[in-house]
Amino acid sequence: MLAATGATGNGATGDGAIVKGSAAAPRTPSAAESVAKISGGQPPPRTAEERSPLQPDIRLHGGIDAWGGLDLHENAGREHRRAGYGRFFVDSKFAWPSSRRGGAAGPGSAGPSAATSSAWDGVLSVEAEALSAAGSGGSYDDGDLDLFEAWLRWRRGSWEVTAGRQLVRWGKTDQISPVDVLNPQDFRLFIVPELEERKTPAWMLRARRFFSTWSVEGVFIPFFEPAEVDYFDSDWAIFRHFREQLLAAPLPPAAHGAIAGIDVVEHEPANTLKNSQYGLRLETTVGDVDLAASYFSGRDRQPFFYRAPFSGLRVSGSFDAADAASLFGGAAFTGDDFHVSYRRDHVVGLEFETTTGLFGLRGEAAWARRRAFLTDALRSRASPVWQGVLGLDYLGVNDWYLNVQVSHQYLDDYSDRILYFRRHNSAVNGELRREFAHGTWIADLRWFLSLTDGGSYWHPRLTRATRMLGDISLGGHVFGGAEDTLMGFYDANDFIYLRWKYSF
């Protein structure tokens, strides 16, 4: 959350184009309809070729995702002991028949199946969500009703153009993907939601052209949308409960009043053509290896703190009582708020993917010109970042699945005042999963382990999958490490949960 991270996950995509017949000529009854008429039965539904050219194919579905959690630690102060989350969504996928016979291939294919085919399809979805937490010292609530995905796609021959609010996947690796930079992420619960659940759609125009052995893709993002974060009053906020810790310190009443009013002022770029974002990606296949190269000119979606309410401050990053006490060591309160901006960034990425037998091998490498890192003065420092990820998948016998990724991040302009990160940052993350009883029981473990500072995250889960009731999971989120590490910063947030996911 305190520095940009990668993300993965694809958005919902429409179904394939529907082929239509001639609208001018009268339609000859099919053999099945003739037999049904003679027998007195009802004719079967019309096929895609028999539909009216103006009649779209519309499919509706939705789902519920809800969980409740209980903290595993007896926390002091304003730490939350109970938390809950609920999401309800409904989306519609629609497609119009093609203008000529011959359908169009779906996203990710080598291109439409016929050079003369054209088709329209799209998605419209809305979601309602609520997040709450409570404890002896206070509560936290957040929720809203939002438009989620809303896009329209046109395909003809080797061209594909999509416009609207959409999720677009760049990169090949899982969980950590430095190339996947087009969509913002929701960090209100840090990395507790999986990567594909954290990504949120963005308004963009996307065009792809397919050739015989390669393809080119361009994106244009007119409006900037930052990552969604909390600054105060949450166990997962950037400053957690630091403001409350300051209010509990023995300060003069006037200082208490000023500290209670500390806020964060966000300076987002204006919605002008000058501030728009754009990217280009080339993809090809050499032998059995998929290769891609990309360039993105946009903005770091993490907040850059360029002004703080304190001067002369030097904290450890734990934001506990000890950090609050450091205000008496020469720091001064300026009476200002935190001010953040979002700096222009450029990302150059390379990626590959291949398979051999039961194994899959994937990798990414990226260079970002300017990423924000929080320092012990509660101001940010910008640094160029090099990052590489190498991943291995294994789909074995007896329903075993293993995914392991090794990543390394290098900060080109490092300072020892940067919190939670060092010049070199190496980590291993992955997932181990096993299905039982024909997939009705699933046991899995997701993890992250920093090889640099020893910080760790573990997510064990047991799921019962049913047709009628959906998926019911029992699991836990466990963080570990010293308090000056990114994972150790959330060590007090370990919790167990019960989750229900149902689709209709």
Q: Residue 298 in contact with residue 279, Cβ under 8 Å?
A: yes
Q: Residue 383 in contact with residue 411, Cβ under 8 Å?
A: yes
Q: Which residues contact 43 (CB under 8 A, 6 or more apart)?
A: 29, 32, 33, 36, 37
**DSSP assigned state of 170:** -
Spatial distance between the Cα atoms of 438 and 333, rounded to a whole number of angstroms: 62
pLDDT given for residue 480 in this prediction: 96
Q: How distant, in Å, are the alpha carbons of 324, 411, 489 from that of 246? A: 5, 32, 18
Spatial distance between the Cα atoms of 92 and 485, rounded to a whole number of angstroms: 43
* Structure token pair of residue 59: 């499919």
135 residue type, one letter? G
* Structure token pair of residue 393: 């998948």
Mean pLDDT by 10 residues, the chain (504 residues): 43 36 39 39 46 72 96 78 95 78 41 58 96 85 94 95 97 94 96 93 98 97 96 92 80 74 94 96 97 98 94 84 67 86 97 95 97 95 98 91 97 96 97 94 98 97 95 98 93 96 95
Query: In 3D, which of 193, 319, 324 has the Cα closest to residue 246?
Result: 324
List of long-range contacts for 22-29, beta carbons under 8 Å, 24+ apart: 23/52, 23/53
DSSP codes, 199-262: B--EEEEEEEEE-SSEEEEEEEE-S--PPB---SSSTTSSSTTHHHHHHHS---HHHHHHHHT-
Spatial distance between the Cα atoms of 2 and 310, rounded to a whole number of angstroms: 19
List, in sequence order, every beta strand (DSSP E) within 237-328.
264-267, 277-286, 289-299, 304-307, 310-311
Spatial distance between the Cα atoms of 119 and 112, rounded to a whole number of angstroms: 10
224 residue type, one letter? F
DSSP codes, 355-384: EETTEEEEEEEEEEEEEEEEBTTS-EEEEE
- Residue ranges per structural domain of the chain: 55-503
Q: Which residue has the tokens 């910080």?
A: 455
Grouping H, G, I as helix, E, B as strand and the rest as coil, residue 388 is: strand
For 55-503, give the CATH class.
Answer: mainly beta
pLDDT given for residue 98 in this prediction: 65
Q: Which residue has the tokens 């080109």?
A: 412
Cβ atoms within 10 Å, residue 144: 9
Q: Residue 457 in contact with residue 1, Cβ under 8 Å?
A: no
Query: In 3D, which of 450, 351, 352 has the Cα closest to residue 408?
Result: 450
Q: Residue 162 in contact with residue 14, Cβ under 8 Å?
A: no
* Structure token pair of residue 431: 């997932």
Query: In 3D, which of 220, 2, 12, 13 has the Cα closest to residue 106?
Result: 13
Sign of CA dihedral 199, 264, 321, 420: positive
Q: How distant, in Å, are the alpha carbons of 5, 179, 292 from that of 387? A: 10, 9, 16
Cβ atoms within 10 Å, residue 223: 15
Write out the H or E segment, with its range, that includes residue 476: strand 470-480
Q: CA angle at residue 431 from 364 to 490, to 5 degrees?
A: 90
Query: In 3D, which of 370, 395, 394, 369 has the Cα closest to residue 382?
Result: 370
